[in-house]
Amino acid sequence: MGKIFVTLANLLAVSGLLLCGISGAFRLSGFYQLAGYESMTIFSVGTGIMVASILIKQELILWTTHKPTG
C-alpha cells in the first residue's frame, strides 16, 4: 500500500509542477487566459496539487516511523 501512495505523491508532484510551469510560461508570454481560465487560477491549482503531494509524503513518513505502543 505504501508503494501506491509513493507513486500517487510523485504523480501529483510532477503534474503540479507541470501545471505551474505551463501557466507561468503562458503568463510571462502575455497570454492571460489558458483553456478558458486565467493563468493565475491554473497556477494556484498546480500549487494546491503540489501541497497535496507533500501532505501524502509527510503521512508516509509518519507511517514508517510510528511505533505502536502497548
Handedness of CA 55, 41, 16, 27 (dihedral sign): negative
Percent of the chain residues topping a pLDDT of 70: 97
Q: What confidence tier does 53 reach under pLDDT thresholds 50, 70, 90?
A: very high
- At residue 1, the pLDDT reads 76
- At residue 29, the pLDDT reads 95
Secondary structure class of 33 (helix, strand, coil):
strand
- At residue 65, the pLDDT reads 86
At 30, list the grid cell.
Answer: 502575455
For the entire predicted model, the pTM comes to 0.85
In the 8-state DSSP scheme, what is residue 57?
H
CA 2 from centroid of its chain's CA atoms: 18
